[in-house]
Structure formats: C-alpha cells, structure tokens
Structure 1
Amino acid sequence: MSPRDRLLALFVAVLWGCNFLAVHYTLGHFPPLFAGALRFLVIAVPTILFVPRPKVKLRWLLGFGLGFGTGQFALLFIAMNIGMPTGLASLVLQASAPFTVVLGSVFLRERLSPRQLTGIVLAVAGMLVIAWHQAEHAVLLPVVLTLLAALSWGIGNVFARQARPDNGLHFTLWMSVVPPIPMFVLSLIFEGPGAQWHSLATLDTTNGWIGLGGFTYVVVLGTLVGSGIWTTLMRRNPAGIVAPFSLLVPVVGMSASFVLLHEVPQLVEILAGLVIVGGVLLGSLPRRQRSTAAVSEGLAASSS
C-alpha cells in the first residue's frame, strides 16, 4: 500500500468518524426517519439518471437496500435522536463486523475459524459491558437500537455478498434507491407530515442552517466522497490491508464528540470499546490472504 493510499485511508476514517457528528447536527433539526429518507432521496435521484444499474439480481439489491439502508439508518438515527451518545454510537456500530461473520456462517455456510470465534466472543463481551453500564443509567434502549442497526448492516452485507457486483460503488449508489419510500412511509406514520413540513419550512433559521450543514456533510462527504475513495482503495489494495483503517472511525468519532459535544465516556466504556475493536479486528481479518466481499462492500458504503 503506497503512502498516498495510506493517507487516503486515514482521510476516509476521519470523514466517517466526523460523519456521526454531522448526523448529530442533522437530527437537531430534522426528524430522524424523515432525515434518513431525504438522505437517500438526494442520492437516489442522480443515481437513477446518471449511474448504470449494476447487473445483479433484484432481490439482492432490495435486500441490501432494506438491510444496510432502511434498517440500519432508521434504527441508528432513532437511537441517536433519543439519547445515544454520538461517540458511543460510532463505536457500538462496529458490531456489524462480528454480526456479518455470524450471519455468513449461518446462512452462507461459511466456516468460522477459531480466531473469528475468539473475536466474536470478545466483541460480544464488550457490547454486553456497555449495555450493562448504560442500563444502570436508564439509557439501555438507545444502545439496543444501535446494536439492531449494526445487525441490520450485517444482514445487508449478506445480501451484498450474494450479489457479487462488478462495481461496488455503483451497487452502493443504487442501494440508495430502495430506502426513500419505506422511510418516508415510516416517517409519515410515526413522525407525521406536520413534523416533516416544519423541518423544511424552518430551514432559514439558525438551527435549520446547522441541520442543513450536517445533512450536506452526511450526503456529500460521508457518503459520496468517503465511499468513492474507499471503493478505489479496495480495488487497488488487498482488503486485509485496507479494512483495518475502518477501526479508526470510532476513535475519530469519540474524539470529535469529546471536543465539540463535550461527551466524556466513562472508563468502563473506553475499556469495553477497546475490547470491541480488538474483537472486530480478530473476527474480520482471520487470514492474510482472503477474499472479503462483505468487508469491502459493507465498509465501502459506511457512512453512518
């Protein structure tokens, strides 16, 4: 991996880590489900017009869109909206990696190595510690929703692996066509048209501009720029070399939240987070030579 590619990988980790901060500011103005629908809609429209549709079966595209897109971001945005700390969200969402390994073993009959099993056990142990600690402070529900978001991401990865697209970026962009309608419907049911209209009608306020700035970052930098660079790096370098850079995302996310939002994680959460990251590393990188479609496609689309 060239020095330039290493710097690009670090740049993407910074973009994705700060993406959670951008989501925080977005949700300060937009209802969470409506924000998710808009996020995918502004990507879906130009995708349909200008990006060739990937030659994959429709069921795999729909499954990836509903799992990675609709499920993950609906649950994550709701969790952050009801109290999930921004930095902690960037950490707990890393559970998608061990979830992907387990789901691949169950549904795709992929064998688990002892190293993968060890990594899964470590990651689960870390998540249980965080859940227990948050439950003591009566904020367990946001953690559970974030874990379900990670599980949904893992489900999406299984569909992506089955799709085996020739162009991962095109596949990721076309995934964005799936979530807008179900997320709009969910928003109408649970948030109501009044909340949707109010968020659009008050964009000219200070809070509106801040929310719009966060939304723009999520769409442009977190999704298009970050995913585009990551996909290019995955194409030029072995996945086993590129993928570990994603473990820097929660480091950036928690650091940015500490500096800008004054979120101070407890020592037990930091230690549990280190255990989770170590488990993810063990579970996601079992061998030096491997073919990792799920890792490349899942991480290429990461944005939170």
Structure 2
Amino acid sequence: MRPTHICLAVLVAAIWGVNFVVIEIGLDHFPPLLFSALRFLVAALPAVFFVGRPKVAWKWLIGVGLSLGVAKFGLLFIGMDAGMPAGLSSLVLQVQAVFTALIAFAVLGEVPTRIRVVGMAVALTGIGVAAVDEGASGPLTAFGLTVAAAAAWGVSNVLTRKAAPPDALNFMVWVSTVPVLPLLALSLLFEGPSRDLDALGSLDWQGVAAVVCVAWVATVFGFGTWGYLLRRYPASTVAPFTLLVPVFGMSSSALFLGEPVSGLQLCAAALLVGGVALTSFARPPKPPAYAAPLTPAASKEPATPV
C-alpha cells in the first residue's frame, strides 16, 4: 500500500475506535434507541440525494439495515447504556469475525479451515476471560447484549457478502435509510415519548456533535474511505487494519473517560485480537479442481468494522 493509503487506513481505524467514546458521550444525552435512530437519520440525509440510486437489490438493503442498524447498533447502544464500558465494547465486538465464520458455514456452506477453527477457539477464550473480568466489576447483562450485537453484525456481514455491493459508500448510505423508522418506533415503545421529547428538548452542542460525529465521520467518511481502499487493494491487505480498532477504542476510553484497563482485559484483548486475526486472515481452502472459481465479489472477506 502507498504510505498515504496506509495513513488513511490507520485514520479510519482510529476514528472507529474513538467513536466508542463519542457513543458514550451521546448516551449521556439521548436514550439508546433514539440515539441510534438519529445516527442513521443524519447519515442518510442529505447524503442519499447525492450518492445515486441503490446499486443492489432492496432485499439486501433491508436485510443489512435491520441486522446492522436495528439489531447490532440497537443492542450495542442499549448494552453501553446499561453499563458496558466503551473500551471493552470496542474489543468484544471484534468477535463478530467468529460469528461471521459460523454463520457463513451454516448458511453458505463455507467449511472453515483448521487454523480458522483454532482462531475461533482462541477468540472465544478471550471472550470468556473478558466475561469473567466484567462479571467481577460490571453487569453481565450489558456484556451479553454486546456479544449479541456482535452476532447481529455477523449476520449483516454474510448478507453484505451475498449483496456484493460495488460501491461501499452508496450501499452504506442507502442501508442507513432502513433502520430509522424501526428504531424510532422501538424507542417510542420501550423508551417512551416523554423521555424522547425531553432528550430532544434539552439538546445542546455536545449532543449535536455526538450525533454528527457518529453519523458523518464514523459512518459516511469512515465507510466511504474504507470502501475506497477496498476498491484499490485486496481485502486481505486492508482488513488487518481493523485490529487497530480495539487498540484505539480501549486507549481513548482510558484517556478520555478514565476507564481502567485491568490485567484480565489485556489478556482478553491479546486472545481475542489474535483469534480474530487467525479467523479473518487465514487462507481459505482451495476449491476442488472441478469446482467453478469464485467471482471476486463472492470470494472477498467482509472487512468492515464499526
């Protein structure tokens, strides 16, 4: 990769890592489901009028919008609002690579190699260590919600692979239009109109900045830049930079939010990142000689983090 593009990849990983701090700030101003709805509303508008028509079928946009926007981010925001630390959230979400491999095996028939199985076992061991540490200091329910968010992310990864969008920015902007109404409806149902109106009525510059940051910086700029890099380089070259996300997430949470990093968390981080690396970047098994080769779109690994 050119040095400029390496810097761009590191910048996106840093943005996605620090984004967990911004989410924590936003949750001080909004109920979690409302905050998630506002994120996608601002990400979709006005960008949807400038990216052109959707380049994949609506069934994929709706599927990814519900699994990524409603399930993944809804569960993540609720979990963080319930007490899941921002830094630990950035780490635990990386287990999405394991869920992606398992779902791809169940749905697409992609048999994992031995080294990927080892990687999944190592990553799940890291999740277990993180759960032990969180159980000693925080609510396990919030931890479980974050793991569930990672599973939902795995579903959206597999759907994205099936969709094979030719333009990542166009795809992400149109996907962002899907979760807005479901999230608003869920917020009104579970968080209540009065709580939502109070949050909107007391809106200040920090709340606005949090929404704009997670929508335009982390979503539109982040995914747009990531898609640009994936169009220029193989996914196996770009994807390893995603392992920097929890590094930036945990360090920025410790720096800006004062979150402590325990020895068990460092052990969990080493296991989880190492396991995800094995799971994500091991070479796929060679197809039989009589098998038709995969198309470039079908053979790419999903490589889009937060």
TM over 0.5: yes
2:233 pairs with one of 234, 237, 246: 237
Distance 1:50 1:4 in 2: 26
Alpha-carbon distance, 1:119 to partner? 0.7
| Aligned-partner residue type, residue 295 of structure 1 | P
1:279 to 275, 282, 297: 275
Instruction: Report the counterpart of residue 87 of structure 1 in structure 2.
Output: 87
Q: How far apart in 1 are the matches of 2:202 and 2:61?
A: 35
Q: Is the 8 A contact 1:98 1:283 kept in 2?
A: yes
In structure 1, give the amino acid aligned to 2:6.
R
Residue of structure 2 equivalent to 1:19: 19
Query: What's the offset of the Cα at 1:294?
Result: 4.4
Q: Deviations over 1:141-166 (max 9, x none)?
A: 11100000010011011111111122
SS in 2 for 1:295: coil
User: Could you give the per-residue CA deviations for residues 220-268 of structure 1, whole angstroms, max 9, x where no partner exists?
Assistant: 2111111111111111111111101010010001101111111112101
Deviates more, 1:95-104 or 1:129-138: 129-138
Aligned twin of 2:302: 295
Q: Percent identity?
A: 42
CA distance in 2, matches of 1:193, 1:130: 36
- Cα deviation for residue 273 of structure 1 reads 1.2
- Corresponding residue number in structure 2 for 1:142: 142
Residue 181 in structure 1 maps to residue 178 in structure 2: no
What residue in structure 1 maps to residue 242 of structure 2? 246
State the match for 2:129 in structure 1.
129
C-alpha distance in 1, partners of 2:44/2:224? 16
The answer to whether the 8 A contact 1:44-1:177 is kept is yes
Q: Taking structure 1 as the reference length, what is the TM-score of the superposition? A: 0.93
Residues 1:154 and 1:234: Cα distance change in structure 2 (over 3 Å): same
Of stretches 268-277 and 280-289 in structure 1, the one that deviates more from structure 2 is 280-289
Partner of 2:6: 6
Structure 2: which amino acid aligns with 1:227?
A: F
2:56 and 2:217 map into 1 onto residues whose CA distance is 27
Counterpart of 2:291 in structure 1 is: none
Contact 1:44-1:174 at 8 Å conserved across structures = yes
User: Structure 2-normalised TM-score?
Assistant: 0.92
Q: How much is the aligned-residue C-alpha RMSD, in angstroms?
A: 1.6
CA distance in 2, matches of 1:52, 1:211: 30
Q: Give the AA of the match of 2:302.
A: V
Correspondence for 2:219 among 202, 220, 223: 223
For residues 37 and 173 of structure 2, what CA distance do their matches in structure 1 show?
14
- Rounded to whole Å, the distance in 2 between the matches of 1:283 and 1:230 is 20
Q: Give, in angstroms, the shift of residue 138 of structure 1.
A: 4.9
In 1, distance between residues paired with 2:300 and 2:190? 36
CA distance in 2, matches of 1:55, 1:262: 43
8 A Cα contact 2:30 2:196, kept in partner: yes
Partner of 1:29, secondary structure, is coil
Q: Is the 8 A contact 2:169 2:220 kept in 1?
A: no
Secondary structure at the aligned position of 2:197 is classed as helix
**Runs of at least 5 residues in structure 1 that lack an aligned partner in the other structure:** none
Matched residues in 2 for 1:286 and 1:211: separation? 41
**Residue of structure 1 equivalent to 2:152:** 152
Distance in 1 of aligned mates of 2:221 and 2:45? 17
Distance 2:220 2:48 in 1: 15
CA contact (8 A) 1:53 1:171 kept: no
Name the counterpart of 1:120: 120
Q: What residue in structure 1 maps to residue 40 of structure 2?
A: 40
CA contact (8 A) 1:54 1:166 kept: no
Change in Cα spacing, 1:189 to 1:149, as seen in structure 2 (3 Å) is: same
Amino acid at match of 1:141: T
What SS class does the counterpart of residue 177 from structure 2 fall into?
coil
Shift of 1:89: 0.5
Number of matched pairs: 295
The 4+ residue runs of structure 1 with deviation greater than 3 A are: 288-294
| 1:23 partner SS | helix
Query: Please, which moves more after superposition, 41-50 or 261-270?
Result: 41-50
Q: AA paired with 2:60?
A: W
1:200 corresponds to which residue? 200
- Distance (whole Å) between structure 2 residues aligned to residue 65 and residue 249 of structure 1: 22
Q: Which residue of 2 aligns with 1:51?
A: 51
